[in-house]
Amino acid sequence: MTINVSKLGNGLKIATRSMPHATTLSIGIWVNAGARDEQDDEQGIAHMLEHMAFKGTKRRDAQAIATEVENVGGFMNAHTSREETAYYLRLLPEHLDLGVDILADILTESTLPIDEIERERGVIIQEIGQSLDTPDDLVFDLFAAACYEGHSLGRPILGTVDSVSTFSRQDLEAFLRRYYGAGQMLFCAAGALDHDDLVRRIDARLGMIGDAKFVTRQPASWAAGRKLVKRDLEQSHIVFGLPTAVESMADRFSLMALSTLYGGGMSSRLFQQVREKRGLCYSIFSFAALHSDGGTFAVYAGTSASQVDEMLSVCAGELAALASGVKDDEVARAKAQIRASLLMSRESVSSCADALARQIILFGHPQPDAELLDAIDKIDGAKIAGMAAGLIAGGTPSMACVGPSLDLMPNGELAARLHAV
């Protein structure tokens, strides 16, 4: 499998992973703009624009876009995150021209019909309502707000009912002009393809689009906040976490290994200690959410209101214990899990395209598998313990909870328990 990167004269980057064994391909455009890039009166506009991209162009209406893709057995979707918006297709190699044409069409020729704006406004308001009614969705938005209160990173990607209700076509067009330029776009593809051939096709369709003026992102400061919402539920849904920064490939894999051992599976310390040994919850896991200038390392758990503090105490104790040292068999297990996950993901053209895009967005360049595997081999117990210790020393935890009781330990007490071992 060969990775290649090119740049058109207008600044549009094209990255491909050629997979000779593949019989399909995945193509997509990643735009360096997401919820973080919205102004105060634009909460949710990046996500709404993603919806509107499929609702009509100068050459195709919404039904034609969907029908043309599905007539050839293709699949089309999109997503909005805090720092990017992606539009992608999965299709057979003989339909590459169609895929490139549709992606170019929806991103450069969208008409943003008024009737479709009103229809999608209603759809998104329903989507917001569904999220608010789902406690294990809501708690993650509350956690973001607790981490970055007052900053765009702390806002819900969907926006609010009030903000979405006000967007006009002019608002959508302004956001489009501000961010959807060649220098802000990355075209990624993986599967049965030839890089040079794809570059020629993209140049023919997107080589003439202009650039956009990138607006410098404001750095976020850790708020160590606390967001609690009382709901009449059987369980309390809790997320707590600490700030983290990944400055190198070694840091990235040390963090992955830490998450794997701490709360990454059935053999992890949290699963064994919180669920298997004490029966305090059904679902518990740790995760890292990274962005361009920082990130969070956090834990989600659902437990009864009467057992929240016990669960939090065990979680704090296990992270503190990892900071004190990691056993050799744990290191070997973490390395095996990360290595297997990487190699298994390389069997999917969609996963390969997404991973390639994320590498370039986060680190500025693709990372060959040989380098990644070498970095995995170099993970050791001291690096994992050091990562855990760095997290604990990095700040007071942020915390969010949705549940029947809001009586849970203060953030400062949780921080003290992290330092107790």
Question: Catalytic residues, which ones?
Answer: 50
Phi and psi at residue 275, to the nearest 5°: -90, -60
Q: Which residue has the tokens 């209160």?
A: 149
First to last CA, the chain: 46
| Residue 280, number of CB atoms within 10 A of its CB | 22
SS3 48: helix
Q: How far is CA 178 from CA 43, 46, 58, 75, 167, in A?
A: 15, 11, 21, 29, 16
SS3 78: strand
CA 409, distance to chain mean position in Å, is: 29
Q: What ranges make up the beta strands (E) of 57-116?
A: 75-80, 85-91
Contact between 33 and 85 (Cβ < 8 Å) = yes
Q: Please list the alpha-helical segments (H only) found in 285-380.
A: 308-324, 328-345, 349-363, 369-377
SS3 202: helix
Q: Please list the alpha-helical segments (H only) found in 109-214.
A: 114-132, 135-147, 161-164, 169-179, 195-206
Measured N-to-C along each axis, helices 96-108 and 195-206 cross at an angle, to the nearest 10 degrees, of: 30
What's the CA gap between 218 and 61, in Å, rounded? 37
CA 167, distance to chain mean position in Å, is: 25
